[in-house]
Chain A
């Protein structure tokens, strides 16, 4: 079945550090890939997405590239801020047409000033 594996957290960085959160997936066909972010006390929000191989999703300084050959969708940001402290979820929507998202377990990021 479809699955998403994220690097385990928590991740603690200093402000302006470079961020990478690894995400790999298992799916048949060509899924769409997503990163969601959950700030403390809130619901999840869509951060970025990519729908086909080699697509790059970007938003708020975050980027992720859909790599079919390595089945990966790693999240990166060049310079994190304290306000980026949150839990980040990688997710996929498979090619079957189902509306369901398969989420990773989430990676908690803390950015210290």
Chain B
């Protein structure tokens, strides 16, 4: 059974460029979460969806960040324009049971 799939695994881009991170949750899971992890700030929840609807986006840093979930099997996190301080590992997680989240392998983003 496939776990949460994220792509790309690594992304290196230049400041000002648009970055799109992709996530495929586990089939049958109805909640999806986007997290960001850095040494300085630790693990931060950016946004989560339930049944494809954004429920809480209070963790989205600013208007440069946007997330969509057009269907139950796909979500994107977009940063436009990207800045060096956005460099981090971005995790997608999905869940069917409250509190039991399954994390993907992460996307390591480097903005030069």
A100 touching B105, Cβ below 8 Å = no
Which B20-64 residues sit within 8 Å CB-CB of chain A?
A: 31, 33, 42-43, 45, 48, 50, 55-56
Query: B-facing mask of A27-54, CB < 8 A → 1, else 0?
Result: 0000010100000011111100100000
Is B99 in the interface zone, CB < 8 Å from A? yes
Nearest chain A CB to B55's CB is how many angstroms away? Answer: 7
Q: Number of contact residues on A: which range applies? A: 20 to 34
B100: contacting residue among A41, A42, A46, A98, CB under 8 A: A46
Chain B residues with a Cβ under 8 A of chain A = 4, 31, 33, 42-43, 45, 48, 50, 55-56, 91, 93, 95, 98-106
Give the 10 A-B residue pairs with the shortest CB-CB distance, closest first: A43-B103, A93-B99, A44-B103, A99-B31, A32-B99, A43-B91, A105-B42, A103-B43, A43-B104, A43-B106
